[in-house]
Amino acid sequence: MFKGSITALITPFKKGEVDWKAFDNLVEWQIEQGTHGLVPCGTTGESPTLTYDEDMAVVERCVEITNKRVPVIAGTGSNSTHEAITLTKHAKSVGADGALIVTPYYNKPTQEGLYAHYKKIHDSVALPIIIYNIPGRCVIDMSVETMAKLAKLPHIVGVKDAAGDLARPLETRAAIGPDFCQLSGDDITAAAFLAQGGVGCISVVSNVAPAECAQLQDAWVEGDLETFAELRDLLLPLAKTLFCESNPAPVKYAASTLGLCTDEVRLPLLPASEKARRLVDGAMEHAGLKGAKRKARSA
């Protein structure tokens, strides 16, 4: 259902407000460059500091601009089940193609609580749901057994896996089967995840290298391992340095060097430090991304 390079969109800001012109241009550019899907209002979109109204407006605007050219998977997760249901219902009402729902952070529910959380959302909204498992941010780790139980529900269609364990996609595939959509949640594992049974990546790097990230995924599907290896190595420094400080500060700085938006983030995050900027500059140069926005690489 969902596959390839799916961009976890940044939310551009200007003087404390959402920069709608920059957002519109970013979405159009992503589609032009070949991105396979978009995720508005994920962590990379600074959803924790968006107001309810802003969150809903960003999702609606993304759906409107995209106009079904690529899938839109709205970030609608919360550590409040009620809040997650409200956001997911809104995403469905405006035409989103799916919902990315993170495991409840801070509350630390049991595995039984995780199952109950997702089942309640599933039963409340008929929209395809991608589970977002990211123990590094949420503390809890959904087990393969819990995920397999949830996968029996018709609207639970896949996982964004940021557990950092490359055995996990194999174990999940063995427990659930090949039709369950497994997407890498870490750019550093995007290439390896494909070899372990994954079908794509929800990517931060693709905010600034959408063509290259999409072509990496396409090359794997087409069996073009030479191009695949070239792009894997080209993108490696970005996959590391865009996380040298708290996401999305480094990628927003990278986007600002391409003229996509300002590097503004909301407190408690701060813009990328001078050290981080130097690292990002080097990674951008390695990937051939310095200067103005590029056209897609030739196939």
Catalytic residues: 132, 160
DSSP assignment of 166-191 equals TTHHHHHHHHH-TTSEEEES-GGGHH
Q: How far is CA 96 from CA 22, 170, 179, 190, 230, in A?
A: 21, 29, 21, 24, 34
Secondary structure (3-state) at 85? helix
Interhelix angle 52-66/81-93, rounded to 10 degrees, is 30
Question: What backbone phi and psi angles, to 5 degrees, belong to 210?
Answer: -65, -40
- Label each residue of 13-71 as H, E or C: EECCEECHHHHHHHHHHHHHCCCCEEECCCHHHCHHHCCHHHHHHHHHHHHHHHCCCCC
Beta-carbon contacts of residue 38 (< 8 Å; ≥ 6 apart)? 6, 7, 9, 27, 30, 62, 66, 70, 71, 72, 73
